[in-house]
Amino acid sequence: MRFPRNTKIFRGQVDMVPLVGVLFLLLIFILLSSLVYTPGIPFALEGELTMSGTERRTLTIARSGEIIFNERTNRITEMEALRTEFRKLPPHSVVVVHADAEAPRQVAVEVRNAARGLAITLETSSVPIVLPPAEAVIGTPNPTVSVAVNMGGQFFYENRIISGADLQKRLSNIVVKTSQPLTLLVSADESVEYRVMVQLAEIARQAGISDWLQVTRPPAQK
């Protein structure tokens, strides 16, 4: 049994107008995507920058602001006692800070300050990064590579903690593979110490990145 067929071979001319319209739309999307700016504050990194078997302990910051370390509870007014406990730790020990989501942020900052100058490392990955506020910001048309820095001075790349040496290797590899100048997009906590930012700037410079953009947040509405 045969069924009638209504298909015929097209022998006319193809209308190119719809195809040209689609190509123009694609071109517009490409141009617009290349003009997207990332807000932040730029820094120039052209000059020379200089800077002068691990035991792990846990420190907990409660919602009330109490600091629990070595089975002892301290308050923010007793930071010297906490610093004394830190001094008793073996060199190169790591203190992992676990902060309650509603714990006062200033307590975490004071804990960081209590460990300053000691041969220990504070791991504060559980403390959220708070970006510094800024009124006027500009962007960059360059390709960007993102690095985050928490209040404890740890570097994060691709959502993982990374050492300074490994970060420099990663950035150097990206620079080699990219034909355009790169801009380092830095999401640093507002309480990060200056020496940590200097260290990051030197890492970027050694990797071949001379542009730096500090990610900020809008100031609070009054």
Q: Give per-residue pLDDT as tens, 69-126.
A: 988 888 888 889 899 999 999 988 888 888 888 888 888 888 888 888 888 888 877 7
**Distance (Å, rounded) from C-alpha 107 to C-alpha 68?**
12
141/91 same-domain check: no
- CATH number of the domain that 75 lies in? 3.30.420
> Same structural domain for residues 205 and 145?
yes
Backbone angles phi, psi at 93, to 5 degrees: -70, 155
Q: What is the pLDDT of residues 35-81, one digit of tens each?
A: 555 555 454 444 444 434 578 888 999 989 999 998 888 888 888 98
Domain range for 80: 56-123
Tell me, yes or no, whether 62 and 172 share the same domain. no
210 and 137 part of one domain? yes
What span, in angstroms and rounded, lies between the C-alpha atoms of 39 and 185? Answer: 10
Are 75 and 134 part of one and the same domain? Answer: no
Residue 141 and residue 96 share a domain = no
Q: Is the pTM of this model over 0.75?
A: no
The answer on 195 and 134 residing in a single domain is: yes
Residue 154 lies in a domain: yes
What's the number of domains the chain is made of? 2
